[in-house]
Structure 1
Amino acid sequence: MSTILIADDSKFMRMHLKHIILGHGSYNILEAADGRQAIDLYKRQQPDLVVLDITMEHVDGLTTLKEIMSIGDSATVVMCSSIGTHSNITECQQLGAHDFIIKPHFERLVDVLNSLIAINKLKRSE
């Protein structure tokens, strides 16, 4: 079973994303309320995929993304934020994010997650 880490400072948003994801498959879901927790969970659990907000307390999403990518440059991260400016999307891609979902437009979320998880499984089997 694939493990997905959802990092968002809004409990409502974490629950909403979890509901969407679990409605389309069976996954082990980890939750982090801020960037510091996300980094710690990533180090300990090495999830298959991370869904990461930009605006969070203690450590913001961009800093969290940098840290996660430095832990394992093969990390699979999807940014999920309402701050979908061209500069944020570009910066996230340059830092290693695989995709950017703009809240609250989650129509692509499940397809993106399924595609990235399938790619990860193929890489591990090689």
Structure 2
Amino acid sequence: MAKVMIVDDALVMRKTLSSILGQMGHTVISEVSSGAQAVAEYEKLKPDVVTMDLNMPGMDGVKAIETIMERFPEARILVISALGQKHMVFNAIEKGAKNYLVKPITMDKLSAVMASVVKG
């Protein structure tokens, strides 16, 4: 199973994802609340998968994805976004995100998408 870093400015979402991913057998190695923290933590931890929110204060998720992918082109990033952020999702995919999920998420949806992202 994968080592996962969760990036979301909402504490409830980070805890929800952490719980679901743990039930699926993945190991959450870091939970951060901003794009800048995501970049710094990625460099230190090199997780197998990053779940990335897009709309965050400071460095948003698209810029974080762009920065991580420039430095680590092998990174596997899964965008988890609200429905109203489709333009940001497309930008994130263009910058290198591997897949996306629209909030609210379910274990079934997350499981299917995680399997595709982990495999590359």
Corresponding position of 1:37: 37
Secondary structure in 1 aligned to 2:79? Answer: strand
TM-score of the aligned structures, taking structure 1 as reference length: 0.85
Corresponding position of 1:113: 114
Separation in structure 2 between the aligned mates of residue 18 and residue 65 of structure 1, nearest angstrom = 20
Corresponding position of 2:19: 19
| Deviation, structure 1 residue 63 | 0.6
Separation in structure 2 between the aligned mates of residue 70 and residue 84 of structure 1, nearest angstrom = 27
Corresponding position of 1:68: 68
Moved more, 41-50 or 77-86: 77-86
Tell me how many residue pairs correspond in the alignment: 119
CA offsets per residue over residues 63-109 of structure 1, 9 Å max, x none?
10100101111110000011454422321211111111111033411
Q: Which 5+ residue runs of structure 1 have no aligned equivalent? A: 121-126
Corresponding position of 1:80: 80
Q: Which 5+ residue runs of structure 2 have no aligned equivalent? A: none
Q: Do the aligned partners of 1:18 and 1:29 also contact (CA within 8 Å) in 2?
A: no
Larger radius of gyration: 1
Letter of the structure 2 residue corresponding to residue 70 of structure 1: E
Root-mean-square deviation (CA, aligned residues, Å) is: 1.6
Q: Do the aligned partners of 2:18 and 2:28 also contact (CA within 8 Å) in 1?
A: no
Corresponding position of 1:58: 58
Percent identity for Structure 1 against Structure 2 = 29
Separation in structure 2 between the aligned mates of residue 85 and residue 8 of structure 1, nearest angstrom = 14
Secondary structure in 2 aligned to 1:51? Answer: strand
Q: Do the aligned partners of 1:20 and 1:110 also contact (CA within 8 Å) in 2?
A: no
Letter of the structure 2 residue corresponding to residue 63 of structure 1: K
